[in-house]
Amino acid sequence: MRLSTTLLASVGLIGSVSAQAANNEFFLYSGSTNFTTRSTLPGASEGEICMRYPAEFFNGLGQSIDATTGQTVNRIAGLRYVLQDQSAITQEAFEVGLKGDDALAPGNVDPTNDLVRAGPFNTPSSSSTGAAAWVFTSTFATAYDAPSGQADVWAFVDCPANPAWTADGVSIHMSGWTSSPVDNPALTATVSNFVNVIDQTAIAAGTAPQAAVAVNNTRFQRIWLLTPGTTLKLGADVDPNAQVCPNPNYGCAGLYPDQNAGRTDGLAFRVLDANVPNSLVTVLGTFGPTTTNPPIPLAGFVPGSVGNIYLAFPLLSDSFATGTTDAAGLFEQTTFAYPFLVPAPVGVMSFQAIVVDLVNFRFVASNSAAFNAQ
């Protein structure tokens, strides 16, 4: 489905969670958009298009302090997403939220487990009969605090049925890496499951819930998390001969860089925390994943600090990136620029950013972030 040629507009939907903390965007996005899609969801069906944020790559998402209890929480405060209506003159109703992982099929969404659901909301009123797209920001009235930072979370948009699809109906912007490549992970990589589509119309008609879930591991939807916690993203500094979108690429290529002979992608780091701008930051790392490591409270090293360390000890001795966040709380550094000259792919590496909060005299830990060079 082609993209709208109209200018994207930003639309806010739900009331603020709290006045004391700004929300930071956590995204999986290459920087370019392929097309707009309902994936496998038929036009005649209503259902959720779900984007997975897996703990195998992102552990401890949203580490922050609850203002009421003073306890560390893994908080998701809202979503940002890009929707398109093929005929903007007909307003479409939709819902958004979060779902949990399926305990019986880990790595897949549980179609019956709503963690948060908000709406319905309507696309903006328009006199245009053509396609239009909007960037929506939804802040949950009550933030979701994950019971553990070591669990997958699925962000979703519930699209309404529209039998006129593809002439009319709601879809979501996405980037992919197979039939219409924009994102470009290593071609040899075995990519995890990131997108599930739930056909709720089929479930209402009697289909077993798990049987109404379709898997798509060839794309990332533009559905992003908002959190007051410090966020860390990894990007690939892609070989210019293979590059098809902005560098660094913080999408699938950042999770699956190509470090094989012939395309030796480098590595970049992106740290964001608008709540502690103009602050020192350092990125630490280690080999291997973090999901089997017991979280270690950072306050055990410096009292009053925020978050847990998820990296396995001993850490690698040198910092992988060091600098100062800007006035918006952003720090980016390409540490290993292309070509990343190693004898072979290094496998899984995990990292965490530590921000020095000089106002409150404490350290603040980001989520952990990993890549898998195969």
Residue 19 clears pLDDT 50, i.e. is over it: no
The overall average pLDDT reported for the chain is 90
Contacts of residue 204, Cβ cutoff 8 Å, sequence gap at least 6: none
Torsion of CA 138, 140, 145, 146, to 10 degrees: -50
How long a stretch of residues is the chain? 374
Q: What is the mean pLDDT of residues 110-134?
A: 92
The tokens for 306 are 């925020």
| pLDDT of 15 over the 50 cut | no
Q: What is the mean pLDDT of residues 177-202?
A: 91
pLDDT given for residue 182 in this prediction = 87
Q: Looking at residue 1, what is its pLDDT?
A: 61
Instruction: Say if residues 311 and 247 touch (Cβ distance below 8 Å).
Output: no
Say what the pLDDT of residue 57 is: 95
Give me the pLDDT at residue 17, please: 32
Q: Residue 128: its pLDDT value, please? A: 84
pLDDT at 232 over 50: yes
Continuous segment of H or E residues that includes residue 253: helix 252-255
Cα–Cα dist 236/257, whole Å: 6
Nearest to 222 by CA among 49, 5, 21: 49
pLDDT (mean) for 2-31: 63
Share of the chain above pLDDT 70, in %: 95
Higher pLDDT, 341 or 82: 82
14/322: higher pLDDT:
322
Give the pLDDT of residue 13: 54
pLDDT computed for residue 149 by the predictor: 75
- Reading the block at residue 48, the tokens are 């959720």
Q: How far apart, in Å, are the Cα atoms of 372 and each of 140, 198, 324, 349?
A: 32, 28, 27, 7
Return the pLDDT at 6: 44
* DSSP string for residues in 322-369: EEE--TTSEEEEEEEPSS---SS--EEEEEEEEEEETTTTEEEEEEEE
Name every residue whose Cβ is closer than 8 Å to that of residue 206 and which is 6 or more positions away in sequence. Answer: none
- Looking at residue 83, what DSSP letter applies? E
Q: Given a cut of 60, is residue 11 above it in pLDDT?
A: no
Task: Find out whether 99 and 243 touch, Cβ atoms under 8 Å.
Answer: no
Do the beta carbons of residue 108 and residue 193 sit within 8 Å? yes
Section 101-116 average pLDDT: 93
Residue type, 224: W
Sign of the torsion angle spanned by Cα atoms 221, 57, 237, 341: negative
d(CA 222, CA 237): 21
pLDDT of residue 3: 54
